[in-house]
Amino acid sequence: MRLLVTGGAGFIGSHYVRSLLDGGYGAAPDTRVTVFDKLTYAGNRDNLPAAHDRLDFVRGDLCDGDLLRELLPGHDAIVHFAAESHVDRSVAGGGDFVRTNALGTQVLLEAALHSGVERVVHVSTDEVYGSIDEGAWTEEWPLLPNSPYAASKASSDLIARSYWRTHGLDVSITRCSNNYGPYQHPEKLIPRFVTNLLEGRKVPVYGDGRNRREWLHVDDHCRAIHLVLAKGGAGEIYNVGSGNELENLQLTERVLELCGADASMIEYVEDRKGHDLRYSLDDTKIRERLGYAPQVPFDRGIAETVAWYQDNPMWWKAAKHRADTEQAAGAV
Ligand code: NAD
Ligand code: TDX
């Protein structure tokens, strides 16, 4: 099989590619991977093996239809991770989000349609549902995204579905909860807090810290995506959760403890605009139909993640530097 992975130099995409090439989803000596990635501030070529006989890397933009139509023939399937992924950036300015997430997804799917690609997995998010005070969303829940990020992801999610419904393209969609793990950009909650503490700085908790998220290790998310690629139905949507729901303050306390710090390192800062209170997924469908079950216990996952940032200062310092450089250049 020849697989194209968009966004494969980012946090989740690179985990997926490393696992696949390492045989994490079973030996697949005939699977070749092409990573297609723009290498924005969030992407890093070094997140992938420097050289591998079953890996090709192409730097390119999702919105470049000519390049995609040249590249795609010969590929059997696409796993589509590439996106602008950070809510705070979308609050500061939504243009790149609509361009990459909505338009870029449409350009990719159009190219796929005309290139004989047989299968697509579109990686969506729980944020497309909005915010839920109690209970949990099933896949039938209406989409009520709140941030420009979430709205652009909801757009791409619906565009993906439309290429199945209109053109019969074999597309499945996954909607996952908050991921954590190694190689996550230090703009996101857990790596931001750990790296701030490593630099002797306080951790900025937005608002009163009472917002709740459902945390899933990236390894479990990637396993679910591979399961959907292999066994998911055309036009089907699969929630991917963990059931591990934490208030931001509870999570902050855990991170502080693992870093040997205390509550004096918390700084309460102005709340995120339009800050969603709570996300919670009902993922019965993927568990019952595809046999998915998360495998990484949170206690182990979070301890290993904190240790990874402690052991890899070069990686996160470079990521912070790339983001700062782009910001200074006015690219955000
Ligand atoms: P990330 O920001 O770490 O990586 C995104 C990757 O996409 C980067 O390598 C970047 O260079 C690339 N990219 C951005 N714009 C591009 C463009 N125009 N053309 C080609 N490549 C481009 O994101 P992530 O956290 O790994 O998220 C991956 C996917 O999973 C996203 O679609 C995101 O919405 C979704 N998701 C993320 C989470 C989470 O908690 N991080 C949860 C659920 C769903
Ligand atoms: O410095 C911070 N302080 C803080 O209190 C940051 C960066 C975040 N927060 C809060 C905001 C959220 O309630 O922590 C929570 C988690 O924030 P993020 O890590 O920015 O994630 P979130 O906004 O929940 O979105 C994430 O999950 C869904 C991913 O970034 C998305 O890509 C994914 O789709």
pLDDT tens, position by position, 272-323 = 999 999 999 999 999 999 999 999 999 999 999 999 999 999 999 999 888 8
Q: Answer whether residue 325 shows pLDDT above 90.
A: no
- Ligand 1 shell residues, CB under 6 Å: 6-7, 9-13, 37-40, 42-43, 61-62, 81-85, 100, 104, 123, 125, 153, 176, 178-179, 185
Strands (E), the chain: 2-6, 32-37, 55-59, 77-80, 119-125, 171-176, 178-180, 203-206, 212-217, 237-240, 245-247, 266-269
- Ligand 2 shell residues, CB under 6 Å: 85-87, 125, 127, 178, 188-189, 192, 204-206, 211, 213, 248, 272
Q: In this structure, which residue's CA is closest to atom 10 in ligand 1?
A: 43
pLDDT digits (tens, 9 = 90+) for 76-125: 999 999 999 999 999 999 999 999 999 999 999 999 999 999 999 999 99
pLDDT bracket for residue 173 (50, 70, 90): very high
Average confidence (pLDDT) over 234-238: 98
Instruction: State the catalytic residues.
Output: 126-127, 149
* Ligand number, closest to the Cα atom of 97: 1
pLDDT bracket for residue 331 (50, 70, 90): low
Ligand 1: centre distance to CA 212 (Å): 22
Length of the chain: 332
Please tell me what DSSP assigns to residue 205. E
Domain 2-184+215-243+277-295 architecture? 3-Layer(aba) Sandwich (3.40)
Ligand 1: centre distance to CA 9 (Å): 9
Ligand 2: centre distance to CA 87 (Å): 7
What integer best gives the mean pLDDT of the chain? 97
pLDDT, position 256:
98
149 and 127 Cβ atoms separated by less than 8 Å: yes
Q: CA–CA separation, 176 vs 227, rounded Å?
A: 14
What end-to-end distance do the CA atoms of the chain give, in Å? 37
pLDDT bracket for residue 332 (50, 70, 90): very low
Average confidence (pLDDT) over 134-159: 98
Helices 189-198/248-258 angle, 10° precision: 40
Ligand 1: centre distance to CA 85 (Å): 5
Kindly report whether the global pTM for this prediction surpasses the value 0.85.
yes
Choice from 5, 40, 216, 281 to test ligand 1 binding pocket (greatest atom count within 8 A of CB): 40
Ligand 1: centre distance to CA 263 (Å): 32
Q: In this structure, which residue's CA is closest to atom 27 in ligand 2?
A: 178
pLDDT bracket for residue 329 (50, 70, 90): confident
pLDDT digits (tens, 9 = 90+) for 14-69: 999 999 999 999 988 899 999 999 999 999 999 999 999 999 999 999 999 999 99
Q: Hey, which residues does 209 pair with through a beta bridge?
A: none
Give me 113's structure tokens. 């349609």
* Ligand number, closest to the Cα atom of 275: 2
Q: Among the residues of 120-184, which ranges form H helices?
A: 148-167
Q: CA–CA separation, 201 vs 112, rounded Å?
A: 46
- What 3-state DSSP class applies to 62? coil
